[in-house]
């Protein structure tokens, strides 16, 4: 528990720093938007490419960790979609609000996962989280696109538009580039490798600052069913499902811990951006993200200690 807290506390201190900078207007709205774009399009892809291209994938259980997380995502997606008629009929949850519930229950914050896994297990932890990214990100984006098109009242998009949005997602193309370099290409020239490595180092701190800047404590004055439901599904049930699959596949030890970390982090801050762009309930999404990020400070160390 002490080692887990030692890794989590710096992570959440950086998040708190981001919140403080935003709350005091030390960093303006436009500056946050610029940092978010640079982190999303440059820093984070550089980190993924650097990690995946240099990772010894033969030494980590790619199929075990990746398979368990994919199974957990699909199970959760089916469960939330099955709840859709009840949420609409009994509680008046409309389509845009349901997209926020779906994203809140399924997506994951890669910045927090990378920081905690790297703090606990160093380069191996980052390599395992990179495997989780390669397994989860394409699937999560496909599911999110489907839910927005189906429930947010968006006009039908052509298959080409959907494919283009999917392929241009920085999380997806950076995974493809990193895996390709790992499997097919010789080592990168030292100047290019050094450039990518240095750019990637900025990703964790910048990403966590952005997570903190997106928190709005005032939105949690009166949490309702969507807030409680998504927090329960994402922070409690998702890790339990992932551990069940992981044990069945044979994952154990530190690899199991990283699986729990990947499954128990709060939902992604990118979910708020997607909600704004595709007609979801962005306000509800921000409230869900705020509540989950605050609760994760308690739930993550408890679940990691109990489930491993």
In contact, 262 and 69? CB cutoff 8 Å: yes
Convert 235-249 to b/e letters by CB count within 10 Å (16 or more is b): bebbbebbbebbeeb
pLDDT at 118 over 70: yes
- Average pLDDT in the 239-263 region? 93
Q: List CB contacts of 228: < 8 A, sequence separation 6 or more.
A: none
Angle made by CA atoms 290, 292, 296, in degrees to the nearest 5: 125
* Maximum distance among all Cα pairs of the chain, rounded to whole angstroms: 60
| φ/ψ of residue 252, rounded to 5 | -155, 175
Q: How far is CA 274 from CA 96, 130, 225, 268, 269, in A?
A: 12, 22, 22, 10, 9
d(CA 201, CA 39): 11
pLDDT, tens digit, 9 for 90 and up, residues 208-242: 888 788 777 776 767 789 999 999 999 999 999 99
- Average pLDDT in the 269-296 region? 82
pLDDT of residue 281: 87
pLDDT > 90 fraction of the chain, expressed in percent and rounded: 30
pLDDT > 70 fraction of the chain, expressed in percent and rounded: 94
Provide the token pair at 211.
């997570």
pLDDT at 131 over 70: yes
pLDDT of residue 156: 63
d(CA 203, CA 192): 17
pTM, two decimals, is 0.82
pLDDT, tens digit, 9 for 90 and up, residues 15-73: 889 899 998 999 998 898 888 889 888 988 898 888 778 777 776 788 898 999 999 99
């Amino acid at each position: 528990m002490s080692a887990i807290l030692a890794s989590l506390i710096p992570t959440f201190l950086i998040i708190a720093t981001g919140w403080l900078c935003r709350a005091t207007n030390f960093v303006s709205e436009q500056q946050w938007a610029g940092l978010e774009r640079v982190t999303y399009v440059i820093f984070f892809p550089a980190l993924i490419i650097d990690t995946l291209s240099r990772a010894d994938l033969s030494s980590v259980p790619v199929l075990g960790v990746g398979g368990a997380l994919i199974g957990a995502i699909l199970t959760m997606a089916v469960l939330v979609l099955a709840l859709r008629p009840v949420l609409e009929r009994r509680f008046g949850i409309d389509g845009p609000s349901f997209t926020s519930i779906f994203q809140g229950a399924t997506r994951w914050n890669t910045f927090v996962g990378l920081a905690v896994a790297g703090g606990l297990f160093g380069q191996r932890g980052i390599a395992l989280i990179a495997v989780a990214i390669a397994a989860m990100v394409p699937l999560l984006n496909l599911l999110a696109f489907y839910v927005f098109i189906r429930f947010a009242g968006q006009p039908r998009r052509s298959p080409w538009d959907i494919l283009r949005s999917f392929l241009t997602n920085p999380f997806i193309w950076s995974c493809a580039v990193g895996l390709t370099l790992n499997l097919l290409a010789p080592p990168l020239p030292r100047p290019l490798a050094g450039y990518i490595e240095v750019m990637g180092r900025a990703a964790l701190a910048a990403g966590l600052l952005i997570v903190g800047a997106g928190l709005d404590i005032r939105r949690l004055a009166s949490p309702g069913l969507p807030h409680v439901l998504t927090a329960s599904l994402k922070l409690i049930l998702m890790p339990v499902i992932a551990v069940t699959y992981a044990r069945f596949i044979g994952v154990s030890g530190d690899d199991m811990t990283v699986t729990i970390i990947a499954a128990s982090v709060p939902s992604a801050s990118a979910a708020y951006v997607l909600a704004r762009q595709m007609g979801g309930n962005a306000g509800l999404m921000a409230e869900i993200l705020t509540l989950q990020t605050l609760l994760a400070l308690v739930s993550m160390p408890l679940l990691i200690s109990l489930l491993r």
